Chain A
Amino acid sequence: MTSTSYTRRGRQWLLPVALLGAWQLAVMANNGLNVLPTPMEIGRALVESFVEGRLLADAAHTFAAALASWGICLLVGIPLGMALGTFRTLRTMLSLFIELLRPLPAVALIPLAVLVFGFSWRTEITVTVFASIWPLILSSRAGIEGLHARIFEVAATLHLGKWHTLRSVAMPAAFSQILVGARLSFSLCLVVSVVAEMVGNPAGLGWGLVSAQEAMRASETFAYLFAIGVLGVCANYALGFVVRRLLPGLAQAS
């Protein structure tokens, strides 16, 4: 790195370091601002929860729930979106329906899901799927609609069946667009899982967060908050990595 980029990097660390330092000093100077823990106390709580195994177990639950929900979103959302892009009549039929359901906030759905499934993982997954499937449906539809007409004429002249066309021609061609929706959906799955855990399923990082808060364990609360942030960053990064590795043929097309 050149000296200017060193300076640049240095400046970027300036703010977080300054903030954390000010935080630490402010709390120490005020004899513990009642509830606000110092960054160091948070760090300690993080390590403790981690070592105890609780943090990891909770993170695993949240990640598993998000992944399962995402899987369902993929299995249902992509075909549905592609069908919407292919069959104009279907699209017309469902357009209003989708526009009414899409803006429903996940939070508002949780009480209904609890009514139906109780406080369980079913609630968590149902709510998460419902909230996160839309980007996938919309981007799959957009992917199909954005395809060059020629591709479909090729399918027609080669006498490919409708399913064969969708699976072998349209879907790979729409892949890069679908991928955008899939990534968005994945981030949403993580967030909504956590929210569902806060109010609808006593498990995972969301539940850990709320429990710590209800028990007035401030450092632990912050620690869980930090863990949620880290899980999000890591999971999204991992997803990008996996996609690049697992689908090289489609890299030819993108």
Chain B
Amino acid sequence: MNKMPRILLSLATPVALLCVWEALGNRASPIAPPPQTWLASAAAMLATGELQRAVMATLMTVLLSTFIAGVAGTAMGAILGARPGISDAVAPTFEFLRSVPPPTIVPVAMLLIGSGTVLGATVVSLAALWPILLNVLQATRSIHPTLIHTGQTLRISTRSKVMNIYVPSILPSVIAGLRVAVPLAIIVALLVEMLATRPGIGRMLLSAQRDFDAPAVFALLSTVGFIGVGVNWALESLDRYVSKKLPNIGR
């Protein structure tokens, strides 16, 4: 099968499912309303502006936290990774800390920080920090010593060393870390919104569920889905772009 029929075939399944649902679904169903009702609900939410506000709120938290986590994680990972003695010493502690699931940090953080505006960014940053930190740590440790010695032998400036040796070696791992961190950030952000009733899609989902508003729940779920797909696509494009610019870097 060549490309075109294949794409159409894979498109057919979700489309067919939605059509069947639309045709057979009961508009008044409390748990499985047909897709048109979702669109109607989404349109209503867009009209009042709540949907946009919620999406912005969630995305802002995710983006801000990812940025903080990215910078901090890369810096910490690189610094710790550069000194084998230190990275070795902190490894088991990090292993233990890593096995605590990030979503479970949320209630603890709520206790300590309260449910204000800082909560979201703090917790999500913390959750997003680990994948990036650990990836960068690992990548820094695996920079071949010969590469570092080369930099020293050629007596290149620190700036040049960073730009030409460290950054290319570490960048793929940063991206790999981001690919894990961003979906995680979305999850934790939504959870914070649900538990601490912070503004965002999570809170809207919760109130839609409490109001037994099934079309709204589906509409919001689809929104989350679109965001997820969009984020995935963006990260994948970034990954491909970096891979093209920096070929043959071992991951």
Interface residues of A (CB under 8 A from B): 8, 11-12, 14-16, 19, 35-36, 88-89, 92-97, 99-100, 103-112, 114-116, 190-191, 194-195, 198-199, 206, 209-210, 212-213, 216, 218, 221-222, 225, 228-229, 232-233
Of B12, B101, B187, B229, the residue contacting A105 (CB under 8 A) is: B187
Give the contact stretch, choosing among B47-55, B91-99, B160-168. Answer: B91-99
User: Considering only CB atoms, which chain A residue lies closest to B214 in the complex?
Assistant: A115
Give the contact stretch, choosing among B132-140, B145-153, B201-209, B239-247. Answer: B201-209
Of A100, A110, A225, the residue contacting B229 (CB under 8 A) is: A100
If over half of A's interface residues share one DSSP class (helix, strand or loop), that class is named, otherwise mixed; here it is: helix
If over half of B's interface residues share one DSSP class (helix, strand or loop), that class is named, otherwise mixed; here it is: helix
Q: Is A111 touching B217 in the complex (CB atoms < 8 A)? A: yes
Q: Is B89 touching A15 in the complex (CB atoms < 8 A)? A: yes
Size category of the binding interface on chain B: 35 or more
Tell yes or no: B46 within 8 A of A by CB.
no
| Interfacial chain B residues near A225, Cβ < 8 Å | 100, 104-105, 107-108
Of B17, B111, B206, B208, the residue contacting A216 (CB under 8 A) is: B111
User: Considering only CB atoms, which chain A residue lies closest to B13 in the complex?
Assistant: A97
| Interfacial chain B residues near A107, Cβ < 8 Å | 103, 187, 190-191, 194, 202
CA distance A108 to B208 in the complex (A): 12
CA distance A217 to B231 in the complex (A): 38
CA distance A15 to B108 in the complex (A): 22
Of B183, B209, B218, the residue contacting A103 (CB under 8 A) is: B183
User: Considering only CB atoms, which chain A residue lies closest to B91 in the complex?
Assistant: A12
Q: Return B137 CB to nearest CB of chain A, in Å.
A: 14
| Interfacial chain B residues near A111, Cβ < 8 Å | 205-206, 208-209, 217, 221
Instruction: Identify which of B88, B111, B202 gathers the most chain A CB atoms within 10 Å of its CB.
Output: B111
| Residue interface mask B71-103, A partner, CB < 8 A = 1 | 000000000000001001111110010011101
User: Considering only CB atoms, which chain B residue lies closest to A33 in the complex?
Assistant: B112
| Interfacial chain B residues near A209, Cβ < 8 Å | 104, 107
| Interfacial chain B residues near A100, Cβ < 8 Å | 14, 225, 229
Q: Is B9 touching A92 in the complex (CB atoms < 8 A)? A: yes
Of B11, B17, B91, B221, the residue contacting A109 (CB under 8 A) is: B221
Q: Given A8-B88, A108-B221, A111-B205, check contact A35 B13 (CB 8 Å).
A: no
Q: Given A112-B221, A115-B31, A198-B191, check contact A95 B10 (CB 8 Å).
A: yes
Q: Is A213 touching B92 in the complex (CB atoms < 8 A)? A: no
A selection of 9 A-B contacts at a CB cut-off of 8 Å is A94-B10, A103-B231, A103-B232, A105-B186, A108-B224, A112-B221, A198-B106, A206-B104, A221-B111
